[in-house]
Amino acid sequence: MNILMIPNPVVLGQLSDEHHAAMLDAAGPGSRVEVCRTLEEQLAFAPQADIALGLIPREVYNAMPNLRYVQSLSAGVDSMMFPEFINSPVPLASEKGIVGNQLAEHAFGMLLAFTRKIKDLAPLEGWVEDRAVFRRDMWELSGMTMGVVGLGGTGLAVAKRAEAFGMRVLAVDVEEVAKPEFVAELTHASRLNDMLAQSDVVVCCLPLTTDTKDLFDYERFTHFKRGSILINVTRGEIVHEDGVVRALKEGILHSAGLDVTPREPLPGDSELWAMPNVIIGCHTAGGTPHRGQRAVDRFCRNLRRLRNGEPLEGLIDKQKQY
């Protein structure tokens, strides 16, 4: 196997000797791993590569006649959803299923920053004399209702934690998935608006697809329970920027925790930066010191599965884009 690796600086920016050896062992005798950081390097190695590690640009894909398998170094794969790849027989696998825990923890970090006033307390430089001002504005999660939009790996991790906090958990999904015991009600995504109207907190756990882009526009926010909290830890373009700004200004939303934003990096002139009831996370929710090793481990398992004709882990349905 000739493996073209495009490093992802936030997941696997460097290839250690141990990782290199593990990949070669999994790929089999005579294999090679070529780390290609620039477009020129990628195009030069593309014709001989049959495996890609990392999301490859369209022009590089079109220069890879021998491609057999692509392993994404991220959970999201929207950048590769161009027609010639979608309609090809080349399988695509991602990190889906192995990033949910950290995304869920990050979601609750932002949520608790609002409900326990940590966002307001953290910047203070001295002891607060009038603590009652903060204490009376704090919320308990226990007894509140959370709406989880998308019950995949991330949604399940969020829902499980919400139930542990004593929240009533509602969820919607476009697929027919089994309802776990920690979810009170699970309905089809076509009933999203009904769920939004009941939810004190809404957590977006969706992938970015042609169907989910701008899903949360202003019209959608009009179906939210007034004074609710929005948390988004998956893809920024699912939330329409002008729509969420307007919803915050009008009090439809109490606050918004946006680890991901509609434009990345979010320009300094965005109104979101100046809003006191918004947390911008700069797309860091997937962070963990274990992520690079987990990505390598999955890739190596999938190389062996490919050689043995077995189904790949984290396989993407390219027609559905997730």
Tens of pLDDT, residue by residue over 198-217, are 999 999 999 999 999 999 99
Cis geometry, peptide bond prior to residue 265 (ω within 30 degrees of 0): yes
User: Domain 2-97+288-308's class?
Assistant: alpha beta
Lowest mean pLDDT segment, chosen from 131-135, 275-279, 309-313, 316-320: 131-135
Residue range 100-107: average pLDDT?
Answer: 98
Alpha-carbon distance 128 to 93, whole Å?
A: 51
Tell me, yes or no, if the two domains 2-97+288-308 and 100-280 fold the same way: yes
Residue 51: strand pairing partners: 3, 69
Q: State the pLDDT at residue 273.
A: 98
C-alpha distance from residue 13 to each of 16, 24, 49, 202, 291 (Å): 10, 18, 20, 33, 11
Indicate the pLDDT class of residue 119, thresholds 50, 70 and 90.
very high
Alpha-carbon distance 192 to 190, whole Å?
A: 6
**What's the whole-model pTM score?**
0.95
User: Domain 100-280's class?
Assistant: alpha beta
Look at residues 235, 228, 176, 170 and name the one whose alpha carbon lies nearest to residue 205: 235
Q: State the pLDDT at residue 115.
A: 98
Domain ranges in the chain are 2-97+288-308, 100-280
CA 298 from chain center: how many Å? 18
